[in-house]
Structure 1
Amino acid sequence: MLVLGRSQVEDLLDMETLIDALAPAMADLSAGRASSPDRVAALVPERDGFLAAMPGFVPSAGVLMSKLVTLFPHNSGTPLPTHQALIMVFDPDTGEPTAMLDGTAITAARTAAGSALSARLLAREGASVLAVLGTGVQARSHAEAMCRVRPITDIRVAGRDLGKAAALADELADLLGVGVRAVPGYAQALDGADIAAATTHAQEPVIRRSWLTPGVHITSVGFNPEGREVDGATVAEALVCVETRQAALAPFPAGSNDLLTPIRDGVITAEHVHAELGELLAGSKPGRTSADQITLYKSVGVAAQDAAAAALVVNAARERSVGSEISLG
């Protein structure tokens, strides 16, 4: 069995290739060809955290896998990431375990790649101004991923701590070679933004309708056990896209408070969720219909995306003879 650590996974996983690889995986999922059941989670209420199991099979990637992932939001600001994971890969013909991967790097990359895929499908072609809300691992990954799909020239970073926002802005400026600056608040970051990437654990919405410019594409990936990232007015006005309706509308913590709360409050109905990524890719649902339309991609994370990423990593490792081999016999 192949064993790969975090630094090896990071070296083997190319963001642009991953964005491309997610498209057939999401098409498989919406067409019913892939198997990606709702995650199950053991809750740790005193830490607002959980341990979840996420199995998946994606025929287009030829991979059967399961991810074990913890989400502990209070790790934010500590040396430990909020998301930590392991992925086990199995032979889809025999069920034999074939690889064990660090899943923390994969989770960070595939989440951002999914958001970038949504921007490729829904953001305006000339979108050049990006607002990054949050200062953690996902904020960094989203900035990198969005620059792969749209001609980003201006990035604004906002978070709860201006010092952390400034540090991330400096890092991204060196990494991406575009203009990046920290701003003191979410409203300032969103003013004039063409794309907004929300990556927070905020209790109160960091995306508010009154702060948005017409035509903005919003991505929201934050886990918010006591709140939400996007206010109801934005959700109500936006064309809403998800990975799958089943995952996004499942009871919390599997689903999203950003959608469940406005449904509970009568602001929208479940039918307001317009499309899945796979439906946009297949052309069975239309995307943006006007330059001023607000679009929203709400992500809760699905195993099909992890499976596509794991397949890329394992294939690259085999080609380059990277990783350790252990025997289970």
Structure 2
Amino acid sequence: MLGEEIFLLCDEIETGSWIYSRLGDGHFDRLRAGILGDKRKQNDRCAEDNFEHRKSSLNDRHSFTARQKMSIGYFPTRPISIFSPCGDSCGHSCLTSFPCVDMPAIMLILSNEEIESFLTIDKCIGALEKAYKSWDEGKAINRPRTDLVMPSSTEAGVYAFKSMEAGLYDPPIVAMRINSDIIRWQQQGGRVIKTKVPAAPGNKYVGLVMLFSTATGEPLAMFPDGVVQRMRVASSSALAARYLAREDAGTLAILGSGWQAGSHLPAMCAVRNIKQVNVYSPTQANRETFVKEMAQKVAAEVRPVDSAEEAMRDADIIASTTNSLTQVVSPEWVRPGIHLTCVRVPELGDETIRKIDRLVIHSHQHAPENYIAGFGDEGIESHDAIDIIRKGPAQARESKVEHPFWLESPELRDLVTGRAQGRADAHESTCFLNNIGIGLQFAAVGAAVLSEAKSKGAGHEIPTDWFLETVHP
């Protein structure tokens, strides 16, 4: 097989299975070889004619030898058949199958910027809806989030390592999401604000998603979690709004002008015909900058307002997207026909939640288990480690965290599968309580990221073998 030539017309290659070749300059060049749906019948005579035709016209074509492809033979390889459409050279509808060659297994590395360039809200919503249904059918598994917390050696605050995982049958992947954070809590305007400190080199944060194949066990991709994080939260909120918000909802109130606000606004516009968006956040410069940015991304009129109360005026949907650990949504704002969503439970508070007619929560897992240095070796349930740390080691375990009154409400997967009713009428007040993030979201959206990246030729390849071993683990 070595030395046999393979001819590919770059402008005729369709999206499909991926092949990788090593050119003379030593760089990987991604090529896509696909099978056209209506050209699956192969005719031997036609294939032979087409092959000879292609050999005779190589002026504008790339010609590689299998030896060139195998010059990177340090890595495990897998056989891949290369197909190219026959075209009009022989007058038949067929495919030419070229000799099977061995290609190196690769792992895809992506950046936030690359993901943001191709990942859409619609793709995320579709991937999540499918995943929630699979979970309900027993065709997906989710492992709840856990947090490991210890004193930070370099910053005031704590070090926190957060992880969550999930697996899907279709596509056959497992996703692991981790965060390695320096965290501070501070009082601000009578509220407790949780802040992640960008303490990594270059004043950056650390959050990663890794995808693994459940067919071979090999790693498939790795990328920062930032864009996926904001998209999966907003897409889950939008998916819930599809079932809970009024069909004629036209005015959206956004509280906050940060990372999550920037994804929730277009997400809500994706599931309802939003005509006006009222944006409030405490810092005028921030909300005005946010409005200018968002006005370029949605068809709705986006305008800044000077108070939260003004943002609520005529609002059909309220999205609280702040980093506050105390209430920001007043119970007085709950009125007939309204739909509420949040990114943190404390943003709403018990009083507001109790006034809701129909409540759906993300998961029946109340809170992550926190493993805190100096507090014993068993996990302690809490939404935020500061609640445990304030009590001190002696009292933290004595006073168990009470499960909130809303914990028995239907989950989002119940809503998606129809086991829980959506909005019953136009007068109901509804709410999606985004009480905790789950690994299933990262598996679903991560799989969509991998699929889109492959179809668009995004990312950087590295040999999978760098992450494999011959030693029995």
What is the rounded CA distance, in whole Å, between the counterparts of 2:406 and 2:454 in structure 1?
47
Q: Find out whether 1:270 has 2:435 as its counterpart.
A: no
Q: Which residue of 2 aligns with 1:252?
A: 382
What is the rounded CA distance, in whole Å, between the counterparts of 1:74 and 1:254 in structure 2?
12
- The alpha-carbon distance between structure 1 residues 214 and 48, as it changes in their structure 2 partners (threshold 3 A), is farther
What is the rounded CA distance, in whole Å, between the counterparts of 1:14 and 1:302 in structure 2?
20
Q: Find out whether 1:302 has 2:438 as its counterpart.
A: yes
Q: Which residue of 2 aligns with 1:4?
A: 110
Contact 1:38–1:254 (Cα < 8 Å) also in 2: no
Runs of 4+ in structure 1 off by over 4 angstroms are 75-81, 247-250, 264-267
State the shift of 1:64 in Å: 0.9
Counterpart code for 1:270: L
Structure 1: tracts of 5 or more residues without a match: 258-263
Counterpart code for 2:360: C
Q: Find out whether 1:36 has 2:142 as its counterpart.
A: yes
State the shift of 1:75 in Å: 4.4
After TM superposition, the structure 1 = structure 2 runs for residues 53-64 of structure 1, keeping only pairs within 5 Å, are 53-64=163-174
- The alpha-carbon distance between structure 1 residues 266 and 277, as it changes in their structure 2 partners (threshold 3 A), is closer
Q: Find out whether 1:13 has 2:13 as its counterpart.
A: no
Q: Which residue of 2 aligns with 1:260?
A: none
Structure 2: tracts of 5 or more residues without a match: 1-106, 184-193, 370-380, 388-400, 467-473
After TM superposition, the structure 1 = structure 2 runs for residues 53-202 of structure 1, keeping only pairs within 5 Å, are 53-70=163-180, 72=183, 73-75=194-196, 84-202=206-324
Contact 1:194–1:213 (Cα < 8 Å) also in 2: no
Q: Which residue of 1 aligns with 2:352?
A: 234
Deviations 1:176-201 (A, max 9, x none): 13211111222221232111111112
Q: Which residue of 1 aligns with 2:86?
A: none
What is the rounded CA distance, in whole Å, between the counterparts of 1:215 and 1:70 in structure 2?
41
Deviations 1:75-100 (A, max 9, x none): 4999978x752111101112111111
State the shift of 1:253 in Å: 2.6
Instruction: State which structure, 1 or 2, has the greater radius of gyration over its C-alpha atoms.
Output: 2
Contact 2:145–2:162 (Cα < 8 Å) also in 1: yes
2:415 is paired with a residue whose SS is helix
What is the rounded CA distance, in whole Å, between the counterparts of 1:77 and 1:133 in structure 2?
24
2:143 is paired with a residue whose SS is coil
Higher strand share: 2
Over aligned residues, Cα RMSD in angstroms?
Answer: 2.8
1:39 is paired with a residue whose SS is strand
Counterpart code for 1:60: D
Deviations 1:123-159 (A, max 9, x none): 0001111011111111010001111100001101111
Report the identity percentage: 30
Counterpart code for 1:74: T
What TM-score do you get using the length of structure 2 for normalisation?
Answer: 0.62
Contact 1:69–1:84 (Cα < 8 Å) also in 2: yes
Deviations 1:1-20 (A, max 9, x none): 11111111112311111111
What TM-score do you get using the length of structure 1 for normalisation?
Answer: 0.87
State the shift of 1:288 in Å: 1.4
Q: Which residue of 1 aligns with 2:36?
A: none
Pick from 224, 243, 264: which aligns with 2:362?
A: 243
Contact 2:253–2:312 (Cα < 8 Å) also in 1: yes
